């Protein structure tokens, strides 16, 4: 028995996720046909079963193309100051701002977040507000102007292909 739902992800699941990420409205029959073109034998009912199982292990995630929207997409990395509870406080305060993806972890920075603002001035106001928090040591940010996403790499299932 596998240790987690992610451990159960296989190449067929990966192919289904790639297809649906390219066109979320694709029918199970269309996914089945695409899989057949790729050399997999899977009925529409089999695809439905796998998608149902995958929905339990995934979250909806739609990447906006910065060239197709009028708002600015900003990504920030934050190092919290060393005080007791500062990392948690910084995480919670940033999560209360208009960032739709906020993560806390261990590495070269403590918090990573992605958000949007209608203008560059709005981005600067958000970053300035975060810099003023006593629980924050440093804030780096980037306004996304172009993006290249490779979902084949994101949904990789072969551990031998790891980076």
pLDDT attached to residue 29: 95
DSSP letter for each residue of the chain: --SSTGGG--HHHHHHHHHHHH-TT--HHHHHHHHHHTT----HHHHHHHHHHHHHH-----PPPTTT-SSEEEEEEEEE-SSTTHHHHHHHHHHTSSEEEEEE-SSSSSEEEEEEESSHHHHHHHHHHHHT-TTEEEEEEEE-S-----HHHHT---GGG--
CATH number, domain at 57? Answer: 1.10.10
Q: Is residue 159 part of a domain?
A: no
The pLDDT assigned to 1 comes to 38
Question: Phi/psi class of residue 93: alpha, beta or left (left: φ > 0; alpha: ψ in -120 to 50)?
Answer: alpha
**Banded model confidence at residue 72, pLDDT cuts 50, 70, 90:** confident
Q: What is the structure's pLDDT at 2?
A: 46
Instruction: Give how many domains the chain has, as a whole number.
Output: 2
Give yes or no: residues 81 and 129 share one domain: yes
Is the model's pLDDT at 133 over the cut of 80?
Answer: yes
Q: Do 56 and 77 sit in the same domain of this protein?
A: no
Beta 136-143 vs 99-104: how paired, if at all?
unpaired
130 in the same domain as 87: yes
- The predicted pLDDT at position 163 comes to 53
- Residues 37, 92, single domain; the answer is no
Same domain? For 80 and 54 the reply is no
What is the model's pTM? 0.61
The mean pLDDT value of the chain amounts to 84
Residue 33 belongs to domain spanning? 6-61
Whether residue 61 is predicted with pLDDT greater than 90 in this model: the reply is no
Render pLDDT for 104-127 as a digit per residue (tens, 0 to 9): 999 999 999 999 888 999 999 999
Residue 151 included in any domain: no
**Residue 132 and residue 76 share a domain:** yes
What does each C-alpha distance from 4 to 8, 13, 16, 57, 106 come to in angstroms? 7, 15, 19, 9, 22
Q: How far is CA 101 from the centre of its chain?
A: 7
Instruction: Assess whether 50 and 99 both reside in one domain.
Output: no
137 shares a domain with 77 = yes
């Amino acid at each position: 028995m596998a240790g987690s739902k992610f451990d159960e992800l296989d190449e067929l699941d990966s192919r289904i996720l790639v297809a649906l990420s390219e066109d979320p409205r694709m029918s199970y029959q269309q996914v089945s046909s695409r899989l057949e073109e790729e050399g997999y034998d899977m009925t529409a009912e089999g695809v439905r079963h796998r998608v149902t199982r995958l929905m339990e292990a995934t979250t909806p995630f739609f990447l906006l193309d910065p060239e197709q929207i009028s708002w600015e997409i900003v990504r920030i990395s934050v190092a919290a100051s060393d005080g007791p509870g500062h990392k948690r406080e910084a995480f919670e305060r940033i999560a209360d701002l208009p960032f739709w993806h906020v993560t806390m972890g261990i590495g070269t920075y403590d918090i990573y977040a992605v958000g949007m603002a209608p203008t560059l001035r709005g981005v600067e106001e958000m970053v300035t507000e975060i810099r003023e928090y006593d629980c924050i040591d440093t804030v780096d940010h980037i306004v996304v102007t172009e993006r290249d996403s490779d979902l084949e790499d994101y949904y990789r299932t072969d551990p031998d292909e790891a980076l």
